[in-house]
Amino acid sequence: MISAQEHKSKPTMILHVFPSFGYGGQQTRFAALANGFGDEFSHIVLSLDGDMAAQSLVQDAVAIQYKEFLLKKSSGLSASNFIKLRALLREAKPDLLCTYNWGSLEVALINRFGLKAPHIHFEDGFGPDESIGKQNTRRVFARRVFLSGASVIVPSTTLEELAKNVWKLKEKSVLRITNGVDYERFQKPSAQIKQQIVVGSVGALRPEKNYGRLISAFVQADRRKKATLKIIGEGPERGALVEAMNESGRMAHINLPGATGTPELCYQEFDVFALSSDTEQAPLSVMEAMAAGLPVLSTNVGDIAAMVSSENRAFITPLGDEDAYATALTHLLDNSDARATLGAANRRKAKEAFSIERMIEQYRALFRVKVSGRG
C-alpha cells in the first residue's frame, strides 16, 4: 500500500458539508476517520445550522477548520443560499467535496454545475417524513439529478437497494461501506455498584427515534419498579419527552442527561441498550453497545437484525408491534443470565464485524481514487 508520504506531500483538502455538526452517527464516523487518517488529509467542516458540538470528537492534531453557514429555510432552491454557497465553494477550492444527507444537496447541485470538484455524498438515513417504504417523489427526482456523477456511500443493504432501485442511481456509483467502531474504547468495565438495572439509549432526540415508544415500554415492562431508563442525547423532542415522562408517573426513574462526547462512559452504566426508532439503517450506537457487551432491544428497522448476534435476534421486534417490544424488554429486565449471554455474543460479533481499522482504510482508498480522477 502506498504510504501517505509517498501519495502526496501536501495534504488533500476535503470540504465536508453537514446539515448539522451536532452529535450524531455521521459526525462520530467523520471524527473517527479524521482522527485515523493522519496528515494525509486536511478538512474544512461546514455546518448548515451553526451547530458545531461534535468538534469535541476530533483530536487536536487533525488539520481542520470549522465554518458556520446558517442555511436559509425554503420550500425549494433558495437563490441567496445558492449565491453564498457558490462563493464559499469557490473560495475553498477543495480537492474533494463530501456532502451528507438530504440537507446538503444544494451544495451538490452547485458543485455539479459550477465547481465540479470530485464529489462523494453520504446517505445514512431519513427524518420522520421519509423511510425506506415512504419516499418523497420530489426528493427521489432531486437525488437522481443532483447526485449524477457523485459516488454515493450508504451503510446498509436496505439503503443500497433503495439507492439503486428507487432513486435509480448508477449501480457503480453506489457503494456500501460498513461502519466501524473502536472496539477497545468500549471495553472498560463499570466500577460502579449498581442499585438498579439501567436501560439506556444513545441518540439525538428527534421524532424518528420515537423515544416515546421506549418510555411506554419501559413503564409497562418494569412492573416491579427496579429499573432506571436513561436516554442520552439532545434535540427538538426534549419537550415532548419530558411531557411523556410526567404522564408516565415514573419521572424519578427516567432521565434525559443530554448529549455526550464520551458515549463509552454511558454504555458502562447500561445493562440493556434499547433503540425504538421508526427508521434506521446501520446505527453506530448499536455497534457501540455491542462492543460494550450489551444486549440490544430494537425495532426491526434497517439492517439491525443482521447486525446483532444470532442469539440477540429474538429481541429485534416487528415495527409497530408495541406489545412484542415491551415483552422483550420485560424478559431482559427479569433475566440477568439472558443479559449476560446476549451481551457476550454481541461483543464477539462486534469485534469480528465492525473493525474501525477496516473502515478507515476503505475510506482512505476511496478518497485517493476520487481525487486522482480514477473513480
Residue 158 CA to residue 302 CA, distance in Å, equals: 6
- 20 and 128 belong to one structural domain: yes
Write the CB contacts of 4 (distance below 8 Å, at least 6 apart in sequence).
37, 38, 39, 40
Grid coordinates standing for 196? 438498579
DSSP output for 47-84: ETTS--GGGGGS-TTS-EEEEE--PPP-SS--HHHHHH
Q: What is the pLDDT of residue 81?
A: 82
Average pLDDT over residues 155-168: 96
**Number of other residues whose CB lies within 10 A of the CB of residue 37:** 22
Stated pTM of the model: 0.90
Which DSSP letter does residue 191 get?
-
Grid coordinates standing for 259? 448529549
**Number of other residues whose CB lies within 10 A of the CB of residue 332:** 25
- 89 and 196 belong to one structural domain: no
For the chain, the 3-state helix, strand and coil shares in percent, each to the nearest 5, are 45, 20, 35
Residue 9 CA to residue 276 CA, distance in Å, equals: 47
- 213 and 319 belong to one structural domain: yes
Residue 59 CA to residue 166 CA, distance in Å, equals: 39
- 195 and 127 belong to one structural domain: no
CA-nearest of 147, 138, 102 to 120 is 147
CA-nearest of 4, 28, 93 to 288 is 28
Lowest-confidence segment of 16-30, 36-50, 128-142, 206-220 by average pLDDT: 128-142
CATH of the domain at 198: 3.40.50.2000
- 141 and 230 belong to one structural domain: no
Q: What is the pLDDT of residue 79?
A: 79
Percentage above 70 pLDDT, the chain:
95
Coil/strand/helix, residue 344: helix
The pLDDT confidence band at residue 3, using thresholds 50, 70 and 90, is very low
The pLDDT confidence band at residue 77, using thresholds 50, 70 and 90, is low
Q: What is the pLDDT of residue 75?
A: 57
Average pLDDT over residues 147-172: 95
Residue 300 CA to residue 313 CA, distance in Å, equals: 9
Average pLDDT over residues 293-298: 98
Coil/strand/helix, residue 225: coil
Average pLDDT, the chain: 92
- 167 and 205 belong to one structural domain: no
pLDDT at 314 over 70: yes
- Terminus-to-terminus CA distance in the chain, angstroms? 18
pLDDT at 359 over 70: yes
- 168 and 227 belong to one structural domain: no
Average pLDDT over residues 238-245: 96
Q: Which domain holds residue 122?
A: 4-180+355-372
CB 102 within 8 A of CB 48: no
Please give the tally of structural domains in the chain.
Answer: 2
Write the CB contacts of 318 (distance below 8 Å, at least 6 apart in sequence).
299, 300, 324
- 349 and 359 belong to one structural domain: no
The pLDDT confidence band at residue 7, using thresholds 50, 70 and 90, is very low
- 340 and 193 belong to one structural domain: yes
Q: What is the pLDDT of residue 76?
A: 60
Which DSSP letter does residue 188 get?
P
Residue 281 CA to residue 40 CA, distance in Å, equals: 30
The pLDDT confidence band at residue 78, using thresholds 50, 70 and 90, is confident
For residue 113, with 0-12 CB atoms within 10 Å meaning exposed, 13-18 middle and 19 or more buried, which class applies? exposed
Average pLDDT over residues 279-285: 95
pLDDT at 97 over 50: yes
Positive/negative CA dihedral, 59, 63, 68, 72: negative
Lowest-confidence segment of 66-75, 175-184, 202-211, 347-356 by average pLDDT: 66-75
User: For residue 145, which amino acid is it?
Assistant: V
**Number of other residues whose CB lies within 10 A of the CB of residue 360:** 18
Residue 375 CA to residue 368 CA, distance in Å, equals: 9
More reliable by pLDDT, 127 or 57:
57
**Beta strands 254-258; 227-232: pairing state:** parallel
- 280 and 201 belong to one structural domain: yes
- 329 and 199 belong to one structural domain: yes
**Number of other residues whose CB lies within 10 A of the CB of residue 95:** 19
- 197 and 333 belong to one structural domain: yes
